[in-house]
Amino acid sequence: MGNRFVFGGLFRIKDHLLKRMKKKKAVVLLSGGMDSAVTLYMARQDYQCHALIFDYGQKAVRETGCARKVAQMTGSPFYVLRISFPWKGSALLDALVDVPAGAVSGGGNIPSTYVPARNIVFLSFGVSFAEAIDAEALFIGAHQLDFSNYPDCRTPFFESFQETVRQGTKKGVEGRGVRIVAPIIDRTKKEIIEAGLGLGVAFEHTWSCYKGGALPCGACESCMFRAAAFAEAGIPDPLLK
């Protein structure tokens, strides 16, 4: 009886391992924010996930720490890739430009927090990583509803980048190019929080503020969106507890 129980246990472990081994691989771009955390939790339902985290000199230094934590909590191997955009051009990088307080992306304007071609660079490294480890998909937590003024967060951009992968990579021309997946692209921030709560995302380990303080500034656009979203979802932000 004891033996059978042990056997049963072993079979269960084997089943679990087999299931895990059978799962296809995906790369998930993890920023430390709540969008990419929810995206990782979504992706891991169907994929064995590998997180890719960029350290690009952003002011919000807590971002990479949060990203590591979320990767660890989901048992996802991760890479932190240090890159730089040494040219000026964005309030997220340039110490001489203040991160603007409040709403900056309204009225069709692209905000000063825009980093030129940032998502193209991130996706490019993601595709390189995915192709190298034989991952089938690359997940990114972009959404176009609340932040619709970032050009590289919109569906036409991702469709075009998918075509670039099809044309410009070995697996792409072989007809099995890395698939770009943006599962929350059309969700509101409130819906993203609700999906994340359903999946058990530890929002206390996500960071949204553009600045680098110990606590969120509460004044930048990203803080405002987050606060509004938690208010709409009707729960307190666990980061502020």
Question: Can you give the binding site for a copy of itself, defined by CB under 8 A?
Answer: 79, 81-89, 110, 114-121, 123-125, 127-129, 131-133, 151-152, 154, 156-157, 159-161, 163-170, 172-173
Pick between residue 143 and residue 226 the one whose CB is nearest to a copy of itself: 143
Rg over alpha carbons for the chain, rounded to the nearest Å, is 19
Pick between residue 151 and residue 218 the one whose CB is nearest to a copy of itself: 151
Cβ at position 118, least distance to a copy of itself in Å: 7
Pick between residue 131 and residue 194 the one whose CB is nearest to a copy of itself: 131
Cβ at position 21, least distance to a copy of itself in Å: 20
Cβ at position 116, least distance to a copy of itself in Å: 4
Pick between residue 134 and residue 204 the one whose CB is nearest to a copy of itself: 134
- Taking the CA of residue 236 as centre, how many other CA atoms within 13 Å lie in the half-sphere pointing to its CB? 4
Nearest to 185 by CA among 227, 213, 157: 157
Question: Secondary structure of 44-107 in the HEC alphabet?
Answer: CCCEEEEEEEEECCCCCCHHHHHHHHHHHHCCCCEEEEECCCCCCCCCCCCCCCCCCEECCCHH
Cβ at position 52, least distance to a copy of itself in Å: 10
Compute the residue count for the chain: 241
Cβ at position 105, least distance to a copy of itself in Å: 12
Pick between residue 47 and residue 207 the one whose CB is nearest to a copy of itself: 47
**Per-residue burial over 65-76, b = 16 or more CB atoms within 10 Å of its CB, e = otherwise:** ebbbbbbeebeb
